[in-house]
Structure 1
Amino acid sequence: MANALDPMDLKQIIRLHLDGFSNRNIGATLGLSRNTVNHYIKRFKASDYTMEALLSFDQGALLAQFPAYTTIDNDRYNELMLYFEGVNKARNHPGFTFLHHYQEYNQTAKAPYSYTQFMEHYHRRYAHIKGSMKLEHDPAKEMYIDFAGKKLHIVDRDTGELVPVEVFIAILPHSQYTYVSACRSQKREDLIGCCQRALHFYGGVPKAIVSDNLKSAVNRASKYEPQINRTFKEFAHHYNCVINPTRSYAPQDKALVENAVHLVYQRIYYPLREMTFFSLADLNREIRRLLETYNNLLFQRKEASRKELFQSVERSYLKPLSQQPYALKNYRRAKVQKMGYVYFSPDKSYYSVPYRYIGKHTMIHYTQSTVEVYYNHQRIALHKRHPAKGSYITNKDHLSSTHKAYTQWSPEYFKQLASRHGQHVLTCIARILTSTDYPETGYRRAMGVIQLHKTYGSQRLNGACQVALQADTASYRRICNILKNNMDQTSLFDQDPEEDRSHIPKHGNIRGASTYK
């Protein structure tokens, strides 16, 4: 029975395969069926690309190569599960046999499973309780993480209030080298921050991080296929490792870290019981001092300490750290608006995307410094995050040709356009731009005058602008009326200038009609 896997799960399978894991171990590490792993490994090998090349693919390209699928026939499977309810009730009845119930099921079912599949599905539904065993841990294979059940406290300087803080614990099982750190909460950002500091404390990366079924790490717990938090999965991808949550209600899966929690109570909590701390930094500074002593203690049955075992054996098996620290990502859904922007709700601002995606539903990935917009797993826009509310952040390459022209509007832009149609047009445009207090108003009027050439031609437009200038009425409406009434063609300029000259000579002392009101 194959499971539907997302691209990140496919990359985890590839990464573990390249690390030398067998298909059975990959399935055990990721909580997948061995048949599912076998199927995808065969498909990877049959692909036209190498495993390393597939690992470098983005999510969209990988999903296109290996689309998710499932082989479950829901009606058939549901019929079997309903039948199992009666089988399980009769389990303790004397003379009970599975073969008897299978024969009964085989006669009544529409499309019965084989006896082998019948028993396989039953044992998956009603798993046996198995005894525990001592696990042998390979060097740098896993890092176990957990939060302590009991909290420490810091004191608020202003109010004197005791503020509870969480204590994060990480351990490398082979050497049992331990990392401890206090943080504000068990939220996703604190969990990932603690994991990142733990990896830098160890100076390398294990093949897998084994977490409890925390809400900040696992969206949906499952014995076979837990759904890992997307941000936590991307954190693991950034550091070239995988996430492997433990089974629900199975503390034996992480017995070492559970034991480490009790040892931390003894070696760190108890010495801190009478100390007072006013900040998280002060508390962590004292924890690091006590942790150094704890890791240097000799094991009772070994002639070495945790730190010595780590330095001599386990450290050399760790993968190198990523060159860049992981930037915590968050996600928002957004529809591309008609203007070609997506609304970014955390900052109440807008970011541009290519205009061809108008009307599409996108996913925004954002950090403290960047905003990325994805459509169908493909990144379509990348911006630096702008904290100002209500701002529009624009990449001019995203705009259509019309919008690009609009963003280029300026006095020089319109003067350049006007100069193509004649000197009088240029003079009119210059007067229009200087006659308005608000630039955008002048831009629209200037564009209206220039666009008249499409209807009347450049020569008539230039003539109309000459008439308007002579009458000292350089405006869009007057120029438009001159052209409509053919006033630019009435030979006003062929008249004798002496006929237009007033019989009253110009003089500074001549008073107008307004004087005699």
Structure 2
Amino acid sequence: MYYTIKTLLSQGKSLRQISRELGVCRKTVYRIKTALDNGQEGPVLQVRTKVLDDHQQQIAEYYEDGLTAHLIHRRLTQEKGVIISYPSVARCVERLKKQEVYVPLQSAPGEEAQVDFGYMGTFQNHGKPVKVWVFSMILSHSRYAYYRLVTTQKISAFIECHYKAFEYFGGVPKTVKLDNLKSGVITPDFYEPVLQEQYAAFLAYYNCAPIACRVRRPQDKGKIESSIKYVKNNFLKNFRGSDYQKLIYELKAWNEQICNKRVHGTTRKVPQEVFNSTEKQSLGVLPAVRYQITDISSRKVSRLAHISYRYNYYSVPAQYAGMYVRIESNGTLLKIFYNRTRIALHSISQDLGAYISLEEHKPEYKKSVSREEYHQRMAAIGPYASQMFLLLEKNVPTHWHAMTRGILHLKKSFDDDIINRACKRAIRFNALSYQHIKRICQSGLYRQDESLEAQVTYTEGYGHDLWVYDNLAHN
């Protein structure tokens, strides 16, 4: 329009004629003529500011974190105070999606396998309804696939599906790419995933490495995503009935006769043929013995410093009472861990309701002490303490353990010499108990024996009471 008006003005036409000929307002023609007269040879680009211009970087960061347009709109309005409609935010997010370009991922033979679960629905297993999932592992190079039905997604079932798949392939791929399943990944992180310890140990046993996909990035595992869709659309929709055992049988037949023998939609090759010709020999060697699956769970240690497992109670060190521990069992041994440190090891008991307690797990003051050890501890205090031990053992055979522990406990408040002298006075007056010795120590009566001995003087005649000689005789 700008250059057309410029051309018509150069031909000598008036503003009215140009307005009528072009069908535009005469003011528009006048504005452009004024700009031309001022030396402006072309139109100036009109830039409209948008509300989200100042928040583009923040929106891009939210999108990279995996937030949806709804969540981004909520954060902008509630946390940033931006007044903007949801459709505007949605259009901005859509432009960010179009900017991302996906590159097809190619894998060398034997390099990678991808795994995932897919929900199949509810079926009848011996008259009881069960929820059923299908486990799938697909070799990324040949698209050779293995399917297995499960009724749980526990780590034990997850690992069993893995080694069954490895045995089906006759070898082990170098890496396994998995979705952020709770069975395999605790904290989803593309660069440093915290894998379940047993799953990591299992893969290490098979000389295989795990790779966790990024959160909300299905393109990272596109092959297994397509594999799950394929089994649902090609097998499940064609299945008749609700019997779980029949489902297992027909899935196995479909896996071998149809899935791995059809022409793959992407590679345009038959997966079984590619697998047999190029990939099978590239897989790692299976170990001679299967990986032993252990039962892993967590428990809270009771106030009695025991954990419950299969209707029995097993001890842990007393300082862990009230804490959460992890247990591992292979059916014969029970291992108990706090963080990554093993704190207890038990043999599995076949009893019911039994307490299996180890002596070393008890607090120091409750550990069993032998008679010889008690005697050694008392003898270390002094000769009268050793004599007191023998007298207690002889005169109070049912309570000498507790009394001896009480006397030894006095070491926290009194030194050995005081306790030994208190035992001496208690023996003199036949006061054979912990309480008497304690009172002698607290009251200082052990000093009277010294003053008593100092009172004995030898003079002519019989000027002394007879009890003094009795005390001397005892000494």
Q: 1:245 aligned to 2:213?
A: yes
- Rounded to whole Å, the distance in 1 between the matches of 2:96 and 2:55 is 13
Indicate how the Cα distance of structure 1 residues 429 and 380 shifts in structure 2: closer, same or farther if over 3 A, else same: farther
Q: Report the number of matched residues.
A: 353
Of 405, 410, 431, the residue aligned with 2:370 is: 410
Matches within 5 A, 1:503-514: none
What do residues 58-100 of structure 1 show as CA deviations (whole Å, max 9, x unaligned)?
A: xxxxxxxxxxxxxxxxxxxxx997355799xxxxxxxxxxxxx
Q: Is the 8 A contact 2:158 2:183 kept in 1?
A: yes
One-letter code of the match for 1:241? Answer: A
Q: Is the 8 A contact 2:324 2:338 kept in 1?
A: yes
- Rounded to whole Å, the distance in 1 between the matches of 2:410 and 2:104 is 87
What is the match of residue 53 of structure 1?
A: none
What is the match of residue 176 of structure 1?
A: 143
Q: Secondary structure of the equivalent of 2:115? A: strand
Indicate how the Cα distance of structure 1 residues 381 and 259 shifts in structure 2: closer, same or farther if over 3 A, else same: closer
Indicate how the Cα distance of structure 1 residues 292 and 419 shifts in structure 2: closer, same or farther if over 3 A, else same: same
Matches within 5 A, 1:174-253: 174-186=141-153, 190-214=157-181, 225=190, 228=193, 230-231=195-196, 234=200, 236=203, 239=206, 240-245=208-213, 248=216, 250=218, 253=220
What do residues 306-345 of structure 1 show as CA deviations (whole Å, max 9, x unaligned)?
A: 45643553233333457744647567899xx9x9x99979
What do residues 462-513 of structure 1 show as CA deviations (whole Å, max 9, x unaligned)?
A: 6446435xx4x421233456782646965535469xxxxxxxxxxxxxxxxx
Q: Is the 8 A contact 1:409 1:443 kept in 2?
A: no
Q: 1:167 aligned to 2:125?
A: no
Shift of 1:215: 5.8
Shift of 1:241: 0.3
What is the match of residue 434 of structure 2?
A: 476
Of 71, 93, 110, the residue aligned with 1:140 is: 110
Matches within 5 A, 1:342-357: 351-352=316-317
Matches within 5 A, 1:70-109: 82=55, 84=57
Q: Is the 8 A contact 1:145 1:211 kept in 2?
A: yes
**Percent identity among equivalent residues?**
18
Highest Rg: 1 or 2?
A: 2
One-letter code of the match for 1:82? Answer: H
- Rounded to whole Å, the distance in 1 between the matches of 2:415 and 2:370 is 20
Q: 1:128 aligned to 2:91?
A: no
Indicate how the Cα distance of structure 1 residues 187 and 456 shifts in structure 2: closer, same or farther if over 3 A, else same: closer
- Rounded to whole Å, the distance in 1 between the matches of 2:277 and 2:469 is 103
- Rounded to whole Å, the distance in 2 between the matches of 1:275 and 1:476 is 77
What do residues 140-196 of structure 1 show as CA deviations (whole Å, max 9, x unaligned)?
A: 2211222234336233x4xx4432211111111223222111112446664455335
Q: Is the 8 A contact 2:337 2:343 kept in 1?
A: yes
- Rounded to whole Å, the distance in 2 between the matches of 1:249 and 1:184 is 26
Shift of 1:434: 1.4
Q: Is the 8 A contact 1:216 1:229 kept in 2?
A: no
What do residues 11-60 of structure 1 show as CA deviations (whole Å, max 9, x unaligned)?
A: xxxxxxxxxxxxxxxxxxxxxxxxxxxxxxxxxxxxxxxxxxxxxxxxxx
Indicate how the Cα distance of structure 1 residues 383 and 152 shifts in structure 2: closer, same or farther if over 3 A, else same: same
Q: Secondary structure of the equivalent of 1:147? A: strand
Q: What is the TM-score when the length of structure 1 is the normalising length?
A: 0.50
What is the match of residue 435 of structure 1?
A: 398
Shift of 1:446: 5.0
What do residues 268-295 of structure 1 show as CA deviations (whole Å, max 9, x unaligned)?
A: 54785347347xxx86566445544457
Q: Is the 8 A contact 2:137 2:224 kept in 1?
A: yes
Structure 1 unaligned regions, length at least 5? 1-78, 88-121, 497-517
Q: Is the 8 A contact 1:154 1:277 kept in 2?
A: yes
Indicate how the Cα distance of structure 1 residues 343 and 175 shifts in structure 2: closer, same or farther if over 3 A, else same: same
Q: 1:370 aligned to 2:335?
A: yes
Indicate how the Cα distance of structure 1 residues 380 and 390 shifts in structure 2: closer, same or farther if over 3 A, else same: farther
- Rounded to whole Å, the distance in 2 between the matches of 1:220 and 1:462 is 64
Q: Is the 8 A contact 2:171 2:286 kept in 1?
A: yes
Q: Secondary structure of the equivalent of 1:478? A: helix
Indicate how the Cα distance of structure 1 residues 132 and 363 shifts in structure 2: closer, same or farther if over 3 A, else same: same
Aligned-residue CA RMSD in angstroms? 5.5
One-letter code of the match for 2:140? Answer: P
Matches within 5 A, 1:328-339: none
Indicate how the Cα distance of structure 1 residues 126 and 261 shifts in structure 2: closer, same or farther if over 3 A, else same: closer
Of 153, 159, 162, the residue aligned with 2:123 is: 153
What do residues 366-402 of structure 1 show as CA deviations (whole Å, max 9, x unaligned)?
A: 434422224xxxx454423689999797795x99xxx
Q: Is the 8 A contact 1:218 1:245 kept in 2?
A: no
What do residues 386-436 of structure 1 show as CA deviations (whole Å, max 9, x unaligned)?
A: 89999797795x99xxx6586352333213334552663242231366133
- Rounded to whole Å, the distance in 2 between the matches of 1:136 and 1:83 is 34
- Rounded to whole Å, the distance in 1 between the matches of 2:229 and 2:59 is 44
Shift of 1:349: 7.5
